C-alpha cells in the first residue's frame, strides 16, 4: 500500500510538472493586442509581460470613436487582424454576436465560481462565451451630504436610500426637495442621468423573439423625464454639458441667473474618480453614495480574441490572466481603485477602503453589493442603435414636440426601417 501511495504521489508531481511546462509553453510567441483604452497597455507592460517572458506583445491604441471602423474590416477579412482586442460596453455585444470571436467558454467556466455573473452574461451568446471583463461598473446615486441634512434631516446613507429606494420614492423625494428649498434644490441636474437606471430596471431586453420590445420601464422613463422637467425637479442641464458639471461644484444657475442646488448625480464606479473628483475637488467630503432607485450598470471594458488567431494558447492565456487571475486583479484593484469582477478579490479587499471624498464612506464595499444585482442578460448587439433612436423620441416628448404615443409610434417606425425589427 505504501509503495502504491509513493507511486501515486510521484505521478501527481509528474503531472503537475507537465502542466506547468505546458502552461509555460502555452504562454509564448507573439501576441498582437488592439485597444481603445490605455488600461490594457498598463496591464501588458507592468503586469503581464514581466510575468510571461515568453510572450512578445505588439500593442496598438486607437481612439474609441475610431476603433470599430479599424477593427471591423480586418476581422471580416482575416487580414491583419489582432489576436486580442478590447471591447467597449457600447459595442461589445455587436462583436460577441458576430461569429468572428474565439470561443473562450473554457476560460469563463473556470472563472465562474469566483466571478460576478453579469460581466460573463454580457459576453455570452447562444450558450458560449466570447468576451470577459476584469471590471464591474455598477451604478450608484451620489448625493450632497449638506443638502440631505438641510432638506431631508439626515445625511446617513441608510436613511437617504430609504428616501430613494424605488422610482416612486425618488419622485416623492424630488417633491420634498423642491418644496423645502422653495424651488432652489433639484434632485438631478439632468433627466439623462436616469436613462441607465431605467434600462437596468427592465424585465426584458429591446429585442424579444426577433421583434422590438418596449419594456414598460422605458415608457415609465419617458413619463418620469417629462414629470421632472414639468415640475422643475431637474436642472435642465444636459449630461456632459457645462451646466451639468457646474451643478457638481454648486455653481449651476437657472435661466434667470438664480442659484440651483443639485442634490444628486447617478454615476457608475468610474464616475467617482473621473467625474466628481476631477470636476468638483472643492466639494470633497460633502458627498455620499447609495444604490438609488434601481440597480444598473454603465460602461466597462471587455476583452475578446479573433477566432482565426494563430496563437490561440497565448490569446486565451492573456484573457484568462487579465480577467480572472487572483494575484493580478488584487494588485490592479489596489493600484488603480478599479472595482474588479473577481468576487474572491472583492471580498478580500472590500473592507479596507475609506473614501475621504465621500466623507469616509467605504465606496468599494457598497459597489460590490450593487454589482451583484446587475442583469447582464438584458444586453444585446442592437442596443446602441435602438437606444440612440429612443433617446430622440424621449427628447421630442419631454420638449412637447410630440405626444408620448406619437413619439413611440415614430420610434417603432425608425427601428423597423433601420434595423428591420
Burial of residue 134, with CB atoms counted within 10 A of its CB: 0-12 exposed, 13-18 middle, 19 or more buried: buried
Residues 6+ apart with CB under 8 A from 219: 404, 408
Asked if 306 contacts 81 with a C-beta cutoff of 8 angstroms, the reply is: yes
Rounded to an integer, what distance in angstroms lies between the CA atom of residue 398 and that of residue 230?
8
Which phi and psi angles does 395 have, rounded to 5°?
Answer: -60, -45
Find the range with the poorest average confidence among 134-138, 253-257, 395-399.
253-257
Q: What's the rounded mean pLDDT across residues 307-326?
A: 96
28-137+299-352 folds as: D-Maltodextrin-Binding Protein; domain 2 (3.40.190)
What confidence score (pLDDT) does residue 256 get? 87
**pLDDT for residue 6 is more than 60:** no
Mean pLDDT of the chain: 91
User: Which pLDDT band holds residue 26 (cuts at 50, 70, 90)?
Assistant: low
Q: What's the rounded mean pLDDT across residues 130-152?
A: 96
What confidence score (pLDDT) does residue 94 get? 94
State what percent of residues in the chain have pLDDT above 70. 94
What confidence score (pLDDT) does residue 208 get? 95
pLDDT tens, 187-239?
999 999 999 999 988 999 999 999 999 999 999 999 999 999 999 999 988 89
What confidence score (pLDDT) does residue 167 get? 87
- Name the pTM for this structure: 0.85
State what percent of residues in the chain have pLDDT above 90. 84
Between residues 256 and 46, the one the model is more confident about: 46
Find the range with the poorest average confidence among 176-180, 369-373, 383-387.
369-373
- Would you kindly state where each structural domain of the chain is located, as residue ranges? 28-137+299-352, 139-190+234-291, 191-218+382-421
What confidence score (pLDDT) does residue 9 get? 42
* Contacts for 366-371: CB closer than 8 Å, 24+ residues apart: 366/140, 366/157, 366/289, 366/290, 366/291, 367/136, 367/138, 367/140, 367/269, 367/339, 368/339, 369/291, 370/138, 370/139, 370/140, 370/291, 370/295, 371/116, 371/118, 371/136, 371/138, 371/297, 371/339, 371/341
Amino acid at each position: 500500500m505504501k509503495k502504491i501511495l509513493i507511486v501515486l504521489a510521484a505521478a501527481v508531481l509528474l503531472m503537475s510538472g507537465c502542466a506547468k511546462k505546458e502552461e509555460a509553453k502555452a504562454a509564448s510567441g507573439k501576441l498582437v493586442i488592439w485597444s481603445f483604452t490605455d488600461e490594457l497597455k498598463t496591464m501588458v507592460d507592468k503586469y503581464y509581460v514581466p510575468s510571461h517572458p515568453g510572450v512578445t506583445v505588439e500593442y496598438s491604441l486607437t481612439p474609441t470613436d475610431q476603433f470599430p471602423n479599424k477593427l471591423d474590416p480586418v476581422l471580416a477579412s482575416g487580414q491583419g487582424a489582432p489576436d486580442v482586442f478590447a471591447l467597449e460596453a457600447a459595442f461589445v455585444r455587436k462583436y460577441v454576436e458576430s461569429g468572428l470571436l474565439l470561443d473562450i467558454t473554457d476560460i469563463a467556466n473556470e472563472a465562474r465560481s469566483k466571478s460576478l455573473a453579469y460581466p460573463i452574461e454580457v459576453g455570452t451568446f447562444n450558450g458560449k462565451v466570447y468576451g470577459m471583463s476584469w471590471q464591474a461598473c455598477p451604478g450608484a446615486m451620489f448625493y450632497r451630504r449638506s443638502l440631505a441634512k438641510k432638506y431631508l434631516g439626515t445625511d446617513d446613507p441608510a436613511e437617504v436610500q430609504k428616501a430613494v429606494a424605488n422610482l416612486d420614492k425618488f419622485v416623492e423625494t424630488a417633491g420634498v426637495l423642491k418644496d423645502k428649498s422653495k424651488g432652489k434644490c433639484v434632485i438631478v441636474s439632468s433627466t439623462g442621468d436616469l436613462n441607465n437606471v431605467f434600462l437596468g430596471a427592465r424585465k426584458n431586453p429591446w429585442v424579444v423573439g426577433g421583434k422590438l420590445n418596449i419594456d414598460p420601464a422605458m415608457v415609465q422613463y419617458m413619463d418620469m423625464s417629462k414629470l421632472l422637467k414639468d415640475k422643475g425637479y431637474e436642472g435642465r442641464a444636459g449630461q456632459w454639458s457645462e451646466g451639468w458639471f457646474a451643478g457638481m461644484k454648486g455653481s449651476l444657475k437657472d435661466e434667470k441667473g438664480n442659484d440651483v442646488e443639485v442634490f444628486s448625480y447617478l454615476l457608475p464606479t468610474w464616475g467617482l474618480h473621473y467625474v466628481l473628483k476631477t470636476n468638483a475637488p472643492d466639494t470633497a467630503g460633502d458627498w455620499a453614495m447609495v444604490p438609488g432607485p434601481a440597480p444598473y450598470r454603465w460602461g466597462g471594458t471587455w476583452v475578446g480574441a479573433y477566432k482565426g488567431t494563430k496563437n490561440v494558447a497565448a490569446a486565451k492565456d492573456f484573457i484568462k490572466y487579465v480577467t480572472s487571475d487572483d494575484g493580478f486583479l488584487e494588485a490592479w484593484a489596489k493600484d488603480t481603485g478599479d472595482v474588479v469582477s473577481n468576487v474572491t478579490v472583492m471580498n478580500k479587499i472590500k473592507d479596507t477602503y475609506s473614501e475621504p471624498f465621500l466623507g469616509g464612506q467605504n465606496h468599494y464595499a457598497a459597489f460590490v453589493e450593487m454589482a451583484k444585482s446587475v442583469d447582464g442578460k438584458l444586453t444585446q448587439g442592437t442596443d446602441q442603435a435602438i437606444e440612440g433612436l429612443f433617446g430622440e423620441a424621449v427628447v421630442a416628448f419631454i420638449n412637447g414636440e410630440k405626444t408620448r404615443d406619437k413619439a413611440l409610434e415614430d420610434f417603432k417606425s425608425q427601428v423597423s426601417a433601420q434595423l428591420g425589427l
